[in-house]
Structure 1
Amino acid sequence: MTDPDLERWRLVLGTPASAMGGLNADAARRDAALDWLYGRDGDLDRRDVRRTGGDGPSTLTTVDWLNDINQLFPQATVERLQRDAVERYEITDVVTDPEVLRTVEPNPALLRAVLQTKHLMNPEVLKLARRIVEAVVRNLLATMQTEVRAAFSGARARRPSRWKQARDFDVTRTLRANLGHYRPDEKRLYIETPHFFSRTRKHVEQWQVILLVDQSGSMVDSVIHSAVTAACLWGLPGVRTHLIAFDTEVVDLTGEVDDPVELLMKVQLGGGTDIAKAVRYGAALVEQPRRTIVAIISDFYEGGSVATLIRSVRELVEQGSKVLCLAALDSSANPAYDRDTGQRLADVGAAVGAMTPGELAAFVAEQVSR
């Protein structure tokens, strides 16, 4: 078979499409790798459409499968296959088998898998899994620190300066001051008095940024990005950051904010949700209400009292704090949340929506530099 489109359909459909033609050696290996994963889908049995590979090896171990997919598919497809293996089919040895962890290439899908399954790992396996966490977090930090620095770099004030440096040349003021020296016959403006400015930071008063992060299983991406965002905000002038994780209990992780890897290794995903309890804890941390941003990162499916949650948020707003109710905080910012609760929170003055980490940093920078 030489037609790439026919080959793709043959790989999608498996043995039921064998009449379309055979597969070459590499395509047969792809077929076997896909069958190893998707052949276990129970929906195929119910529809009497059994997907089986025809020409590849009959049995693959998890290590063999990971090696094969890395050789046979582009990186984006590899990450999708790994994510389906862990999240859809619960093949936990993808991130709990020591041999796999020694060889697998770290990526965001595997980071999510490690965080969701680390409670199954013995100390030796957990040590190997930490390599994945460190590698992915390092890449996220590099990207997000750039975004945060860009957001905070604009807080500058310009003042006249006697120090003459080319980079501080004030073009506008110089032109205005020397317009009387323009010579129409030569069409030239002669500069007798150049002007320069100094670059000084605006004075910024201390702001508190309190991140309340829902650590239920569905919020894993937001948990990851909240940890890295808090690390990027940590130590910035004018900003004091708190990071609080919650399910039905509240855990203050502020002491770990400067080490997002250690922080993520301590997060316990899953369990119920008591958002109101977390908001009350955050409210108790507020020192200057009008210089405080409280960001609640959750899907807002409240397991506790919705009425208490609404009342707690209203009290924060009324005292002058800025309350953000974020249904997502990750690179895609695709919100999935209880819209009824979200509307009730908006009705009492909270800003409800979703943000990327860069957008949150820009919001904080805008408030701090006012």
Structure 2
Amino acid sequence: MPEASEGERLRRWRLVLGGESADGTGCSLAGADAAMDGALTALYGTAPNGGRSKDRGAGLGSSSPSVARWLGDIRTYFPSSVVQVMQRDAIERLDLATLLLEPEMLEAVEADVHLVGTLISLNKAMPETTKETARAVVRKVVDDLEKRLATRTRSTLTGALDRSARTSRPRHQDIDWDRTIRSNLKNYLPEFSTVVPERLIGYGRASQSMKKEVVLCIDQSGSMAASIVYASVFGAVLASMRAIATRLVVFDTAVVDLTDQLDDPVDVLFGTQLGGGTDINRALAYCQSQISRPADTVVVLISDLYEGGIRDEMLKRVAAMKASGVQFVALLALSDEGTPAYDRGHAAALAELGVPAFACTPDLFPDVMAAAIEKRPLPIPDR
């Protein structure tokens, strides 16, 4: 890539620094550069408390038309990934969340997981005139996620289910020839150049009674918005697999079972309510009451572990489920955002019970679930 000229370097610094009196570039902007600078100034030239900065004071105000124009401008001048960051910053810095209750605003934004989280948090305040548009925005994000994640999830878990159902009396078409030959090499007959397979190893076919049960137990606290979006998509994918019986439970201080809505992740998302307290113990008590075959069950708790309920009871419940044969997985987040703030004391207590708590990306989640189904160590990412 050729080195930028002195003029180009000054232009870039001018856009970064914003043209304040002390920026020192002495560079002026025109045309598209001036418009781009205006879009940046409208957002980042406004103080986080809603006031105006001394030198950069364009702002977005509370005018819907001006915000709509600004949303259009940033989509014109910046790539999609940058637009999503700027939208997120605008919602946080300038309190634009309420404007998302207007259909015109929703039609102008770049839809992503974070926007869906914001819409979920506004769900109860959303007027009827906006709900149809909001559902369309959420539907687009969910459909895109499902296209990206579904194929690999199904293939990864299908292999895990097959391996977990290995049998020593397989039908001919279900024989695992590689493992069968390796386990019978001691029976090799050199005079016939063959192996006598005294023991066949094969993949069983999961019957209704052999179904794996997966319980997704999701914290609804405000910090878990992205995790809820991804969990609803994965829940729908898992529910579509005949060999897995999937249950989805969300909680704050109350517990809501959304299993009946798993065929549509959008219904799941609009059935949640972000914010409020947290009672992990109560949620786990409900999940425990729904388990009929512990040895064939995986419970996935997705929470930052800030427990508002009874801590000791929560830990006893986790220990009891593990002792009964349940595979228990604790995820601090299910998102691309990295490890969130979390209760380190509770995470350490779970680790002592043999349940490491870690943040999981959507791309890693199928491998985590496959390991849990096969009852092997989880692929915990480097910290």
Q: Same fold (TM over 0.5)?
A: yes
Counterpart residue number, 2:258: 253
Provide closer, same or farther for how the CA distance between residues 30 and 180 of structure 1 changes in structure 2, counting only shifts above 3 A.
farther
2:307 counterpart (275, 298, 302): 302
Q: Does 1:3 align with 2:28?
A: no
Q: Which runs of structure 2 are paired with 1:139-158 in the superposition (5 Å)?
A: 139-154=144-159, 155=162
1:12 counterpart (2, 13, 16): 16
Residue 363 of structure 1 deviates from its aligned partner by 3.5
Counterpart residue number, 2:345: 340
Residue 40 of structure 1 deviates from its aligned partner by 2.1
Residue 312 of structure 1 deviates from its aligned partner by 1.5
Q: Which runs of structure 2 are paired with 1:23-62 in the superposition (5 Å)?
A: 23-42=29-48, 50-52=55-57, 61-62=66-67
Tell me, yes or no, if the aligned pair for 1:31 and 1:53 is still in contact at 8 Å. no
Q: Which runs of structure 2 are paired with 1:315-330 in the superposition (5 Å)?
A: 315-330=320-335
Whole-Å Cα distance in 2 between the matches of residues 23 and 181 of structure 1?
85
Residue 12 of structure 1 deviates from its aligned partner by 2.7
2:275 counterpart (270, 279, 282): 270
State the secondary structure of the residue aligned to 2:364. helix
Provide closer, same or farther for how the CA distance between residues 255 and 21 of structure 1 changes in structure 2, counting only shifts above 3 A.
same
When normalised by structure 2's length, the TM-score is: 0.79
2:143 counterpart (135, 138, 141): 138
Residue 238 of structure 1 deviates from its aligned partner by 2.6
Q: Does 1:203 align with 2:201?
A: no
State the secondary structure of the residue aligned to 1:349. coil
Provide closer, same or farther for how the CA distance between residues 280 and 133 of structure 1 changes in structure 2, counting only shifts above 3 A.
same
Kindly provide the amino acid, as one letter, of the partner of residue 5 in structure 1: R
Tell me, yes or no, if the aligned pair for 1:202 and 1:369 is still in contact at 8 Å. no
State the secondary structure of the residue aligned to 1:30. helix
Same amino acid, percent of matched pairs: 34
Residue 347 of structure 1 deviates from its aligned partner by 1.2
Q: Does 1:223 align with 2:228?
A: yes
Provide closer, same or farther for how the CA distance between residues 359 and 105 of structure 1 changes in structure 2, counting only shifts above 3 A.
closer
Whole-Å Cα distance in 2 between the matches of residues 309 and 6 of structure 1?
58
Residue 356 of structure 1 deviates from its aligned partner by 2.7
Unaligned runs of 5+ in 2: 194-201, 376-383
Provide closer, same or farther for how the CA distance between residues 77 and 242 of structure 1 changes in structure 2, counting only shifts above 3 A.
same
Tell me, yes or no, if the aligned pair for 1:244 and 1:254 is still in contact at 8 Å. yes
Counterpart residue number, 1:100: 105
Tell me, yes or no, if the aligned pair for 2:80 and 2:110 is still in contact at 8 Å. no
Tell me, yes or no, if the aligned pair for 1:323 and 1:351 is still in contact at 8 Å. no
Counterpart residue number, 2:93: 88
Whole-Å Cα distance in 1 between the matches of residues 240 and 65 of structure 2?
49
Whole-Å Cα distance in 1 between the matches of residues 99 and 129 of structure 2?
15
Tell me, yes or no, if the aligned pair for 2:74 and 2:83 is still in contact at 8 Å. yes
Counterpart residue number, 1:21: 27
Tell me, yes or no, if the aligned pair for 1:324 and 1:352 is still in contact at 8 Å. yes
Count the aligned residue pairs: 343
Provide closer, same or farther for how the CA distance between residues 2 and 131 of structure 1 changes in structure 2, counting only shifts above 3 A.
farther
Residue 292 of structure 1 deviates from its aligned partner by 1.3
Kindly provide the amino acid, as one letter, of the partner of residue 205 in structure 2: H
Whole-Å Cα distance in 1 between the matches of residues 284 and 149 of structure 2?
26
Indicate the larger mover: 151-160 or 254-263.
151-160
Whole-Å Cα distance in 1 between the matches of residues 287 and 33 of structure 2?
55
CA RMSD of aligned residues (A): 3.4
Unaligned runs of 5+ in 1: 163-167, 183-199
Q: Does 1:77 align with 2:69?
A: no
Counterpart residue number, 2:381: none
Tell me, yes or no, if the aligned pair for 1:322 and 1:350 is still in contact at 8 Å. no
Counterpart residue number, 2:286: 281
State the secondary structure of the residue aligned to 1:10. helix
Whole-Å Cα distance in 2 between the matches of residues 119 and 298 of structure 1?
23
Tell me, yes or no, if the aligned pair for 2:120 and 2:274 is still in contact at 8 Å. yes
Tell me, yes or no, if the aligned pair for 1:335 and 1:353 is still in contact at 8 Å. no
Whole-Å Cα distance in 1 between the matches of residues 73 and 114 of structure 2?
18
Provide closer, same or farther for how the CA distance between residues 100 and 305 of structure 1 changes in structure 2, counting only shifts above 3 A.
same
Residue 351 of structure 1 deviates from its aligned partner by 3.0
Whole-Å Cα distance in 1 between the matches of residues 40 and 14 of structure 2?
11
Whole-Å Cα distance in 1 between the matches of residues 158 and 309 of structure 2?
41
Tell me, yes or no, if the aligned pair for 1:44 and 1:51 is still in contact at 8 Å. no
Tell me, yes or no, if the aligned pair for 2:83 and 2:110 is still in contact at 8 Å. no
Residue 161 of structure 1 deviates from its aligned partner by 5.9
Provide closer, same or farther for how the CA distance between residues 241 and 358 of structure 1 changes in structure 2, counting only shifts above 3 A.
farther
Tell me, yes or no, if the aligned pair for 2:338 and 2:359 is still in contact at 8 Å. yes
Tell me, yes or no, if the aligned pair for 1:234 and 1:240 is still in contact at 8 Å. yes
Tell me, yes or no, if the aligned pair for 1:212 and 1:243 is still in contact at 8 Å. yes
